[in-house]
Amino acid sequence: MSGEVAEWAAMGGYAGWVWSAWGVTALCVGALTLLTLRRSAQARARLAAREAEAKQAAPPRRDAS
């Protein structure tokens, strides 16, 4: 069983080439996905904060007089 897995992982002697190509793809696609999702979450949080602020300020503040 483990022999089969090892044989598969060896990729017919091209393990270094195959795994590095797939590895760099996984790394770049993963990083792009994480960065995109993080920026989306940040932008949404910032917008939500601004919207809450705007709602609060909507009635003119009394202490301004």
Partner 1 sequence: MWSYLANPERFERLARVLTPVMWALAGVLFLVGIPWALVLSPPDYQQSDTVRIMYVHVPAAWLAMAAYGGMGTASFVYFIWRHNLADLAARALAPAGAVFAFLCLVTGAIWGRPMWGAWWVWDARLTSMLVLFLLFLGYIALRAAIEDERLAARSGAILAMAGLINLPIIKFSVDWWNTLHQPASVFRFDGPTIHASQLWPLLVMALAFTALLTALVLTSMRTLIAQRRADVLLRRREQRLEAEELAL
Chain residues in the site for partner 1 (CB under 8 A):
8, 11-14, 17-18, 20-22, 24-25, 28-29, 32-33, 36-37, 39-40, 43-44, 46-47, 50-51, 53-54, 57, 61, 64
Rounded to whole angstroms, the maximal C-alpha distance in the chain is 82
- Minimum separation from the CB atom of position 31 to partner 1 (A): 8
The C-alpha atoms of residue 41 and residue 35 are separated, in whole angstroms, by: 10
19, 11 contact by CB (below 8 A): yes
- Minimum separation from the CB atom of position 20 to partner 1 (A): 6
